[in-house]
Amino acid sequence: MGHIRTNKFIGSLRSGIRYGLLALLTFSGAHYFTLYVLGTSHYAPIGALWAMITGTVVISDTEQSTVEKARLQLLGGVMGAVAGFLYLSFLPFSIPGMVIMIVLVVTLCQAIQLSGYTPGAAMNLGVVLVFSSINPELTPLMNSGLRLIEMGLGCGFAILLVRIIPGVTEKLS
């Protein structure tokens, strides 16, 4: 019985370490990347938070599951970034505009049978639009591109970590 509790604790600790390292890597990596691109630390934490959220959403117990979730998140994120770019090229951020765009992008994903893209598309679209109200000087292309790169950083670090630190359900090599 003690052996089972020890194994359960070790597995739980492994998961905790993965999430902790994910937070460290995604937040730090995206923070410094966004800081480098924008040249100011004022907005970098927001992009870093987006990378961390994305990584946390996609990381899973297995590498295969993490890669699949990352693929769907990123492809949906591309749709959200494009929709955000198009919207912001013509209109400023507004809550009704955001709601309408999310309805449209989710409807499009569902209509073309890409329902797996829906969460990434809606989330990234919302982040792109909201961020435009926080930093209105940023062009729609730069804003959409940065959010997509931050998503990529979150997904990339999640995949890296599941390869380095096997999940509880995977065999340890």
Res 34 pLDDT > 80 = yes
Tokens read off for 111: 């209509």
pLDDT band for 169, please (50, 70, 90 cuts): low
Give tens-digit pLDDT for 139-150.
Answer: 999 999 999 999
Residue of 104, 168, 92, 164 whose CA lies nearest to 130: 92
Q: What is the C-alpha separation between 153 and 53, in angstroms, rounded? A: 11
33, 58 in Cβ contact below 8 A? no
Comparing 6-10, 21-25, 31-35, 65-69, the range with the smallest average pLDDT is: 6-10
Q: How far is CA 107 from the centre of its chain?
A: 21
pLDDT band for 73, please (50, 70, 90 cuts): very high
83, 104 in Cβ contact below 8 A? yes
